[in-house]
Structure 1
Amino acid sequence: MTTDPDSPTVVYRAATNIEAAPIVAALEAEGIEATVTGTFTSGFQAEAPGDVQVVVRQSQAEKASELIAKWEAE
């Protein structure tokens, strides 16, 4: 079984969208398409509170994880 390189992969979990947004912006600045899941939708929380996820394509997950680890170490 092969893994689809475009399948969504969680690379970061945050407590809030405010915490996740700078990670998404930094990844996009590095050319990695990233999105956030688990945020509010039409005034309602779409997922469990405190489980906001930054998601990238499987093919970019390793690079994204390395960049996030580097930023967290700074």
Structure 2
Amino acid sequence: MVSDDSPVLVASAPTSIEANAIASFLVDAGIKATVTGSFTSGFQAEAPGWVRVVVRKVDLPAAEELLKKYRDIEVDWDQVDVGQPES
């Protein structure tokens, strides 16, 4: 029997940066999220893979709903502070 606290996949991304952004978005919304598989992403290993974002089974419906909204967010890059260019 799978408990409500069992980890389930909610999203995956090709890099740990993207997966961590997704997980941070969920955590900021009050959903515990964890990133797994970072060592096999991109060129960090000889057998590249995707990075997984997992949540508790009980949180899966809320996480999926939030991620639908996340996909629709448009960023106004003129309003984002990306720091000073390197010289």
Q: 5 Å matches for 1:8-47? A: 8-40=7-39, 45=45
Consecutive aligned runs of 4 or more in structure 1 exceeding 3 Å deviation: none
Q: What does residue 3 of structure 1 align with?
A: 2
Flag structure 2 segments of 5+ consecutive residues without an equivalent. Answer: 74-87
Tell me the CA shift for residue 19 of structure 1.
0.7
Higher relative contact order (CA 8 A, sep 6+): 1
- For residues 18 and 29 of structure 2, the distance between their equivalents in structure 1, rounded to whole angstroms, comes to 18
RMSD: 1.7
Q: What does residue 61 of structure 1 align with?
A: 60
Counterpart of 1:62, as a letter, is P
TM-score normalised by L of structure 1: 0.82
Of Structure 1 and Structure 2, the greater strand share is in 1
- For residues 61 and 67 of structure 2, the distance between their equivalents in structure 1, rounded to whole angstroms, comes to 10
- For residues 49 and 57 of structure 1, the distance between their equivalents in structure 2, rounded to whole angstroms, comes to 26
Tell me the CA shift for residue 49 of structure 1.
1.9
Identical residues among aligned pairs (%):
46
Tell me the CA shift for residue 65 of structure 1.
0.8
Flag structure 1 segments of 5+ consecutive residues without an equivalent. Answer: none
Q: Which whole-Å deviations, capped at 9, do the CAs of 1:13-60 have from their partners, x for residues lacking one? A: 10010111111111111111100011128xx64xx5231100000000
Q: What does residue 72 of structure 2 align with?
A: 73
